[in-house]
Structure 1
Amino acid sequence: MILSRVKPAVGGETPVSSEKKKKNKTPPLEEYLQQRDYLGAFTLLEFQRSIGEKEEHADLWIGYCAFHLGDYKRAMEEYKSLTMKPECLAEVWVFLACALFFLGLYEEAEEAASKAPMSPLQNRLLFHLAHKFNDEKQLMGFHQNLEDVTEDQLSLASIHYMRSHYQEAIDIYKRLLLQNRDFLALKVYVALCYYKLDYYDVSQEVLAVYLQSMPDSTIALNLKACNHFRLYNGKAAEAELKNLIDISSCSFEFAKELIRHNLVVFRGGEGALQVLPPLIDVIPEARLNLVIYYLRQDDVQEAYNLIQDLVPSTPQEYILKGVVNASLGQEIGSRDHLKTAQQFFQSVGGSASECDTIPGRQCMASCFFLLRKFEDVLIYLNSVKGYFYSDDTFNFNYAQAKAALGHYEEAKEVFLLIQNEKIKNDYVYLSWLARCYIKTQRGRLAWELYLKMGTSSDSFSLLQLIANDCYKMGQFYYAAKAFDALEKLDPGSDYWEGKRGACVGIFQLVLANKESWETLKEVLSLLRNSGNPQVEYIIRVLKKWAKDHKVLLS
């Protein structure tokens, strides 16, 4: 969008003047350039250079072709070499600046651009650099210098795109398409915007028009694969890249890197540590996807180290920084990290551009979750739950919010929808599900959850929850069993008090005909596990009742 022309602009003229062309025309090179076959043109120029039959301004053309092939390093080298010659055209400095910009050398690009004469290309480049430097004042200044011409409007649209103003970018692209119906590449830009807006099906429809004319476009096929990834799964996305999997067939180095990056994503993070680190400063999403990989591996500290210095500028970056801070805050018990996470979530969910999007509503739900305002959490989650019926992470948070508000029956149903084994083995899941069982008079199921756990601090905590919650809910049988297990684990504690109360509670239920008298047999067994002197008195009372009612207790 910065340099979108067939020939480089040098003072408004092509490097080869029209008079020279008439005398010394080279049809093969001209033909390559007209067909945008930059690899063919580059190869011809290199061959002519090697045999000493150089085109006029051949060095400029080589830099130009290298730039359009995505070999920005080679373009930079050619232009730098030209700037060292006394007869160098002043405009070469802006060409060098463009190559430096695409290499990510923004400060060097600004310095080179400052040596070039004022031109629309220089203004567009400085406009983009102001965006990279987050200099709003400079950005607005260069914005005012933009004209209503295709190149400038494309630059403006790209800045809208990078600032997540996707609808504004779409409006510009559609207006340009109405004026220039043969500018089919604009369809790809429109499709990219719809992709960013989560309208993946619409993106596919727009993209299909372009692919009819350019079926082998690397960028278009890659976007189609990304849409399939969002609409279906990684396997479907990878199938769409089948024509590009053979990376050696790609002329563009950036395309090779993009494909390697996306294959890692499509394959659920496979090869992330080998592929993503070298791409962190090449593809912006590489850092974010590596952070996501570390989060999925439960390496929260490494995820934090990778993202802590990133200044977020897009909703995705704000969201990921929020997730990382929330995860780290919960892991190390840091209120500061949790507060930071809450602020990041609120920034996205409260923004005008994101407040009505699905991620925006999820962010507000996360913000209120951290603030423990669960009624507000449910307002936002209810508004998007139709999109996440099978999403285990969504259901986990949704069920917790319901349970926190006392909607235990509904919460239980949602908890039971979860299939992810990692979540189902998490103590938070087990403790909430146990509480839901107990609050809905299903103490036996809560006890069975405990029996399936191995011996650990989590199982001890769950045992305490079952003992206390069952006692509160009058489910004294399972309260007694839990207090008995706790007493065995910690004999010197006060768990006897809880067990004694639960055993007496069972007896009361038997007297009220709400519990079978046979349960008293197990009560006697539980009581005999204790060495407390009060045990004998309680047993005598129970046996006397049994004798009076002609009930046989062992």
Structure 2
Amino acid sequence: MILSRMKPAVGAETPVSFSEKKKKTKVPPLEEYLQQRDYLGAFTLLEVPTQFQRSIGEKQEHADLWIGYCAFHLGDYKRAMEEYKSLTLKPDCLAEVWVFLACALFFLGLYQEAEEAASKAPMSPLQNRLLFHLAHKFNDEKRLMDFHQNLEDVTEDQLSLASIHYMRSHYQEAIDIYKRLLLQNRDFLALKVYVALCYYKLDYYDVSQEVLAVYLHSIPDSTIALNLKACNHFRLYNGKAAEAELKNLIDISSCSFEFAKELILHNLVVFRGGEGALQVLPPLIHVIPEARLNLVIYYLRQDDVQEAFNLIQDLVPTTPQGLDKTSHKDLLFSQEYILKGVVNAALGQEIGSSDHLKIAQQFFQLVGGSASECDTIPGRQCMASCFFLLRQFEDVLIYLNSVKGYFFNDDTFNFNYAQAKAALGNYKEAEEVFLLIQNEKIKNDYVYLSWLARCYIMNQRGRLAWELYLKMGTSSNSFSLLQLIANDCYKMGQFYYAAKAFDALEKLDPGSNYSEGKRGACVGVFQLILANKESKETLKEVLSLLRNSGNPQVEYIIRTLRKWAKDNRVLL
């Protein structure tokens, strides 16, 4: 191990013993390192002597080329690019170096530069595969099909084709290629990881785990495989279980696979519920496709809807397109459509924009109405969201009822479900669902408070609605809740709390006509007392509310109430 070179000597070596050891210890040749795929060992073997030879003017044949090769396979694409670039400046440079340089540029995300470098290389299967992937990156369907036609029935080309299928969400087509290659080459264990990744994308997390276990049994320390296993645990269990699977990879500095560093950092942010998102995700937006989407989700959770919109507004959702147009299946709609719908809905509600709400409704309908998504849980949620924005709540409940078994303890689901119930007048069940919600952020939201207050009132529990108001601070929302309580309680014959609410409104806005509502509510309380539906002791507080009014018309009502109290020996 390379770490052993850093250990201090335990004892002094005699010249004889050192000489004897040197004879016994032989450094493996470069070919042996490469055959074992020990690129770090090969890189070290090449790098240290080459630096010395460079300093004294000696030259080792193709050393720079092999250093670039090892750096590339270690995931150090920048170093590989530098080595290949320096080689292209030499007059005796091999023509194939241009395609090697193009590959390094491709993995650095420098697609335009990669295409320019590849165009200088002679035609070869590697060049064709690279241009095939570049056409996909540039969304150039014509060139994509041209390079697709040049692919041959060899392992490298078929793996390239499978990867394009995967990136275009044709997961089953990719699986078919990988399985066929596995039948021909049973020792190609890495294909198990690719198959497991496809099953993960198809939401078959248990199947993905089973396939992955075969590979991990042989290669237990694989960074990519362990990361995928962690992602499966995240979907099947939770973030803590997922992070536990990465415990051997948390210390990124000790990971020799540099290419996985960004992926692991990205996934840790997701596993930890967005912790460190602003530090990790922005630089990865153009490296890992999901980074942009997860950053948008983070902004939404922070209520920074405008920033989420700015990040996603120019993103064109990708619908997978078949390489074989004659066997093209129903389009699988990406998560980008759903997220764009959510962001537009949130922004539309925040700024009162009907245009954004309409766009959101269209995105939700596009996903939920597609043949491939209509029977999935996300698809049904999208249709529910679409009808919610259209205020067609009977249809909302049809879709939410079909999936509610999966979301019993989901506060966001219950929030929407309860609102739909309440909108249709099913206040008893709506109240029960509202009270299941534990999320403090939702419980402090005015929409939640106003709907719960209305449910209380409609269920003849006006006192609880009044207590909701008392817990609120002074704000425009508290004023709106007062108005709701005053009017709904009056409508439902709960005149005592209507009178208290109208009294509070009159104090906040003396020039309004709230005094009329208060007078009517106070008379309503008196009628309930006469009907023995309200306690006589309430009359004292009613008189106090009336005295607080500056309207002279209350004097007649006060005299009438006092006379009745005197005649009925009610102590005021």
Aligned partners of 1:36, 1:56: CA distance in 2, in Å?
Answer: 21
Asked if structure 2 preserves the Cα contact closer than 8 Å seen for 1:272 and 1:290, the reply is yes
- Per-residue deviation, 1:287: 2.4
Distance 2:7 2:318 in 1: 34
Query: Are the equivalent residues in 2 in contact too, given 1:8–1:64 (CA < 8 A)?
Result: no
- Cα displacement (A) at 1:219: 0.8
Deviation of the 1:41 alpha carbon:
1.4
After TM superposition, the structure 1 stretch with the greater mean CA deviation from structure 2, 259-268 or 94-103, is 259-268
The corresponding residue for 1:366 is 385
* Alpha-carbon separation, structure 2, partners of 1:490 and 1:471: 19
Match of 2:262 in 1: 257
> Which SS does the other structure have where 1:189 is aligned?
helix
Aligned equivalents of 1:221, 1:258: Cα separation in 2: 12
Counterpart-to-counterpart distance in 2, 1:203 and 1:416: 38
Q: In the TM superposition, what is the alpha-carbon distance from 1:266 to its structure 2 partner?
A: 2.1
Deviations 1:4-62 (A, max 9, x none): 99999999999999999999999711111111111111222227777877664333322
Aligned to 1:305: 310
Partner of 1:515, secondary structure, is: coil
Aligned to 1:151: 156
Report whether the alignment pairs 1:538 with 2:557: yes
Change (3 A) 1:390 1:3: farther
In structure 2, what is the Cα distance between the partners aligned to 1:156 and 1:349? 30
Deviates more, 1:345-354 or 1:246-255: 345-354
With the length of structure 2 as denominator, give the TM-score of the two structures.
Answer: 0.87
CA contact (8 A) 2:338 2:367 kept: yes
> Deviation at 1:407?
1.8
CA distance in 2, matches of 1:140, 1:419: 53
Describe the superposition over 1:77-124 as per-residue Cα deviations: whole angstroms up to 9, x where unpaired: 222233333433333322222111111111111222222333322222
Q: Deviations over 1:277-322 (max 9, x none)?
A: 2222222222222222222222222222223332222792222222
CA distance in 2, matches of 1:7, 1:139: 53
Aligned-partner Cα distance in 2 for 1:359–1:515: 50
Q: Secondary structure at the residue paired with 1:463?
A: helix
- Whole-Å Cα distance in 2 between the matches of residues 185 and 434 of structure 1? 58
Q: 1:488 to 1:231 in 2, by over 3 A?
A: same
**CA–CA distance in structure 2, aligned partners of residues 161 and 318 of structure 1:** 18
Instruction: State the alpha-carbon separation in 1 of the partners of residues 523 and 187 from structure 2.
Output: 87
After alignment, is 451-460 or 519-528 more displaced? 519-528
Displacement after TM superposition at 1:169 (Å): 2.2
| Range with greater deviation from structure 2 (40-49 or 271-280) | 40-49
Contact 1:358/1:384 (<8 A) preserved = yes
Single out whichever of 413-422 and 73-82 deviates more from structure 2.
Answer: 73-82
CA distance in 1, matches of 2:398, 2:142: 39
1:165-176 to structure 2, matched below 5 A, reads: 165-176=170-181
Report if aligned partners of 2:209, 2:229 keep a CA contact under 8 Å in 1.
yes
Q: Any gaps of 5 or more consecutive residues in structure 1?
A: none
Partner deviation per Cα, 1:246-271 (whole Å, 9 max, x = no partner): 21211222222222222222222222
In the alignment, is residue 401 of structure 1 matched against residue 420 of structure 2? yes
When residues 11 and 99 of structure 1 are mapped into structure 2, their CA distance, relative to the original with a 3 A threshold, is: farther
Give 2:518's match in structure 1, choosing from 499, 503, 506.
Answer: 499
1:333 and 2:352 correspond: yes
TM-score by length of 1: 0.89
Deviates more, 1:20-29 or 1:305-314: 20-29
Q: Which residue of 1 aligns with 2:38?
A: 37
Distance 1:104 1:372, change over 3 A: same
- Inter-CA distance 378–279: structure 2 relative to 1 (3 Å threshold): same
Q: Name the structure 1 match of 2:323.
A: none
Question: Cα gap change, 1:535/1:198 in structure 2, threshold over 3 Å: closer, same or farther?
Answer: same
Q: Distance in 1 between matches of 2:188 and 2:53?
A: 33
For residues 15 and 137 of structure 2, the distance between their equivalents in structure 1, rounded to whole angstroms, comes to: 31
**Deviating 4+ runs (over 6 angstroms):** 1-27, 47-53
Q: Deviations over 1:145-176 (max 9, x none)?
A: 33333222222222222222223322322232
Per-residue CA distance 1:467-490 (angstroms, 9 max, x = gap):
111111121121111111111211
Contact kept, 8 Å, 2:40 with 2:70, in 1: the verdict is yes
Task: For 2:10 and 2:309, locate their aligned partners in 1 and report how far apart those are by CA, in whole Å.
Answer: 47
Match of 1:322 in 2: 341
Cα distance, 1:407–1:416 mapped onto 2, change above 3 Å = same
> Against the structure 1 CA distance between its residues 5 and 395, is the aligned structure 2 distance closer, same or farther, given a 3 Å change threshold?
farther
Report the Cα offset of residue 510 of structure 1: 2.9
Say if 1:374 and 1:341 are closer, same or farther in 2 by CA, change over 3 A: same
Q: What is the distance in 1 between the residues matched to 2:8 and 2:206?
A: 37
- Listed one character per residue, the Cα deviations across residues 462-518 of structure 1 (whole Å, up to 9, x for unaligned) are 000001111111211211111111112112110111112212222233333333333
Q: Judging changes above 3 Å, is the alpha-carbon distance between structure 1 residues 194 and 15 closer, same or farther for their aligned structure 2 residues?
A: farther
Task: Point out the more displaced range, 530-539 or 82-91.
Answer: 82-91
Question: Residues of 2 paired with 1:542 and 1:505: CA distance?
Answer: 12
- 1:417-473 per-position Cα deviation (integer Å, ceiling 9, x unaligned): 111111111111100110111111111111110111111111110000001111111
Map residues 177-188 of structure 1 onto 2, 5 A cutoff: 177-188=182-193
Distance 1:504 1:415, change over 3 A: same
Deviation of 1:552 after TM superposition, in Å, equals 4.4
Q: 1:378 aligns with which of 391, 394, 397?
A: 397
CA drift of 1:366 comes to 2.0
Write the distance in 2 (CA, Å) between the matches of 1:148 and 1:21.
Answer: 49
Match of 1:151, SS state, is: helix
Q: Distance in 2 between matches of 1:14 and 1:207?
A: 51
Distance in 2 separating the partners of 1:522 and 1:286: 60
Mark the CA change 1:314 to 1:358 in structure 2 (over 3 Å): closer, same or farther.
farther
Deviation at 1:404, TM superposition (A): 1.6
C-alpha distance in 1, partners of 2:97/2:6? 16
**Aligned partners of 2:74 and 2:259 also within 8 Å:** no
Q: 1:424 to 1:345 in 2, by over 3 A?
A: same
TM superposition shift of 1:388: 1.5
Contact 1:187 1:206 in 2 (8 A): yes
Moved more, 12-21 or 309-318: 12-21
Aligned to 1:247: 252
Q: Cα–Cα, structure 1 residues 368 and 405, in superposed 2: closer, same or farther, change >3 Å? A: same
* Contact 2:384–2:395 (8 Å) recurs in 1: yes
CA contact (8 A) 1:328 1:337 kept: yes
Q: Please report the RMSD computed on the Cα atoms of aligned residues, expressed in angstroms.
A: 7.6
1:34 and 1:348 map into 2 onto residues whose CA distance is: 48
Over 3 Å counting, the alpha-carbon distance change for 1:80 and 1:8 in structure 2 is farther
Q: 1:74 to 1:196 in 2, by over 3 A?
A: same
Provide closer, same or farther for how the CA distance between residues 141 and 25 of structure 1 changes in structure 2, counting only shifts above 3 A: farther
Q: Tell me, which stretches of 5 or more residues in structure 2 are unaligned?
A: 321-334
Distance 1:423 1:551 in 2: 45
Instruction: Name which of structure 1's ranges 474-483 and 325-334 shifts more when overlaid on structure 2.
Output: 325-334
Shift of 1:3: 30
In the aligned structure 2, how far is the partner of 1:52 from the partner of 1:33?
Answer: 26
Give, in angstroms, the shift of residue 367 of structure 1: 2.3
Distance verdict in 2 for CA 1:108–1:351, change over 3 Å:
farther
Bigger shift: residues 259-268 or 344-353: 344-353
| Kept after mapping to 2: 8 A contact 1:150/1:176 | yes
